[in-house]
Amino acid sequence: MGRARQRRKLRILRDDHIGDLLGAIFFDVAPGHDQAILERVGEYLGSRVRIVMAELTADAAEIEIEVQALDEEASRLAAAADNLRFKGARRGAYALYREALELDPLNRAATYGLGVLLAEREDFEAALRMFKLARETGGDDAELLLAMGRACARTERVASAIAYLERAFELEPGNFAVRRALTDLGRRPKAPARIAPTEKPPNPGKDAPANKRN
């Protein structure tokens, strides 16, 4: 079965790439630098991805890409890898995640799962690269941001760790692991603001003032 050519949208955040080669594109927003920016993004995403359009601001790059992928097969492999990882069969899970990424280089489940395994091996730099790709292809969720925060904390990027964890707390203020990770970094999670209850409409038969008699 041949690989299907698909179009997808990615969102690359400047704060995820502070200090690395890709992060430099956010300082080259001036006219005339478009080709250099596209080349840098292309190097980051790899030769199997073709950039169709890129819109750059000071904080993020909105990228439309074309990729040849077998996404359903890759997702099935990633799900099987998840199952092995949960059972503790890390070596088998690692191989399946890699196989999934051969079929779809931007499969969100495979990039996240592989990042988790790399973090467990204490290869935090490689884990962060996978987590960033997962975020760029699939957006935010608390578990991903928690993983990114923990990896940053282990590589002494405390400010980034706190930023990821606070974003995770915004998404899931009841997540105990997120709250604990913030506390371990000396930050007290702030409770979300309570929404004031709306006033009840008056009950015409009870709350309305009595009519005066003449």
| pLDDT single digits (tens) 143-201 | 999 999 999 999 999 999 999 999 999 999 999 999 999 999 998 877 655 545 555 55
Look up residue 23 and give its DSSP letter: G
- 60, 91: one domain: no
209 within some domain = no
Look up residue 11 and give its DSSP letter: E
Pick the last residue of a domain from 105, 129, 153.
129
pLDDT tens digit sequence for 18-62: 888 888 888 765 555 677 788 889 999 998 999 998 888 889 999
- Residue 155 tokens read as 């590589």
Strand ranges inside the chain, DSSP E: 4-13, 49-56, 60-69
94 within some domain = yes
- Residue 89 tokens read as 């069969």
Of 31, 63, 32, nearest in space to 45 by CA: 63
Confidence (pLDDT) at 16: 95
Look up residue 214 and give its DSSP letter: -
Assign 66 a pLDDT band (cuts: 50, 70, 90): very high
Is the pLDDT assigned to residue 202 strictly greater than 60? no
* Residue range 124-142: mean pLDDT, rounded: 96
Range of the domain at 97: 70-129
12 contact partners, CB below 8 Å, separation of at least 6: 22, 41, 60, 61, 63, 136
Confidence (pLDDT) at 213: 45
Q: CA 158, CA 126: separation in Å to the nearest integer?
A: 18
Confidence (pLDDT) at 28: 62
Report the side by side order of strands in the sheet with 4-13: 4-13, 60-69, 49-56
Confidence (pLDDT) at 179: 95
54 within some domain = yes
Report yes or no: 168 and 178 within 8 Å, Cβ to Cβ.
Answer: yes
pLDDT tens digit sequence for 72-130: 999 999 999 999 999 999 999 999 999 999 999 999 999 999 999 999 999 999 999 99
Confidence (pLDDT) at 203: 55
Handedness of CA 205, 208, 209, 212 (dihedral sign): negative
Confidence (pLDDT) at 1: 54
Count: domains in the chain: 3
